[in-house]
Amino acid sequence: MENDSQNSKKRIILGFVSLAVFSFLFIQITGGPDFTQYRHRIERFTETLLRSEEERVIETKVHQLVDEESAVIEVVESASPSVVSIVIKRVDFDFFSGPSLTEAGIGTGFIVDPNGIIVTNSHVVEDPNGEYSVILKDGITYEVSEIHLDRTSDLAILEITARGLPILDLADSDTLKVGQKAIAIGNALGRFQNTVTSGIVSGIEREIVASGGFGGRTSFFEEVIQTDAALNPGNSGGPLLDLSGRVIGINVATTPRADNIGFAIPSNTLRPILVSFLEEGRIIRPYLGVSYQIITEEISRLRELPQGAFISRVYNGSPADEAGLERGDIIVAFDGVDLDQRNTLARLINRTSVGDMVELRIDRDGEEFTTTATLSEVPENF
């Protein structure tokens, strides 16, 4: 049996050797077989593979666009019922025709509590002679019963008599990334209710002087969100949303002579204001009592000044006044945190509460010292 097995192996090996020799002789005599047809088949197969890969890439991109479009549509459908148009009624007097009642859309707001609590910009509702109402997406109108202004942040909280309203949740604006999707909903130009625009977050922590539109006053904003989602007069006070349908900012319209540049107040600026209002029934904000300009890292280097907040005014009787601060002082640290582009004075104050005692490190004419201030509540109509 063992000899039969060995003989079988020898025959197999001999067969392979014979095939190899025959193939070699055939190639030598004929010049080799014609592989053209095989080459053409390989080329066609390669082209098919390449075409399939290109189609796969295109198909993937199409799916991504469709998924993004679907996400935007879902956000708009879920958020729109929580967005309101703000209307003002005024009594105008004409010398010839006498008094007349006019009504105009002036801004946007959004519902943050089912029991009739709405957020907007303070510049939208600061006319003491106006009567305000809000219009929901379904056309139902509610008169505004109370207005609470926070002019420092350009935010306002409105109260209406309603229950069971749909609300929008706030996102954590500190986690925003440049390039992420942003969706704006608002009463564009005061006439086109629930207009939707979309774009991206173009920048964060911008410092700007912005106009709210409709001839409103200009305001200084220290750390706003920049977006290329189109904002128009009438969008002020409306929500800027992420793809989860949460509010990342409150639209504050545009800067003069700017194209495709809009700005929004970060949701984290609103959060402590809203929390205090829901707890106390009024807006309560901590107050230091200074006006200041930010000394950025670049300005610090060019002018050889420490980075921080340059005090341009100290308000009489304020915590800063009682702590001995003077015009020209530079606050370089607030309660143990150095001031910089990220940790601005406004942001650090917003993290405190009324009654907190904070330590301030001050640079005065190149010499540093520390002092303490007990934060009070922002004065009425400040």
Show which residues are catalytic. 123, 154, 236
Distance CA 208, CA 263 (A): 9
- Burial status of residue 228 (CB atoms within 10 A of its CB: 0-12, 13-18, 19 or more): middle
Distance CA 224, CA 268 (A): 11
Distance CA 5, CA 10 (A): 9
Count of beta carbons in the 10 Å neighbourhood of residue 223: 20
Q: Which two tokens stand for residue 312?
A: 């341009």
Distance CA 69, CA 243 (A): 10
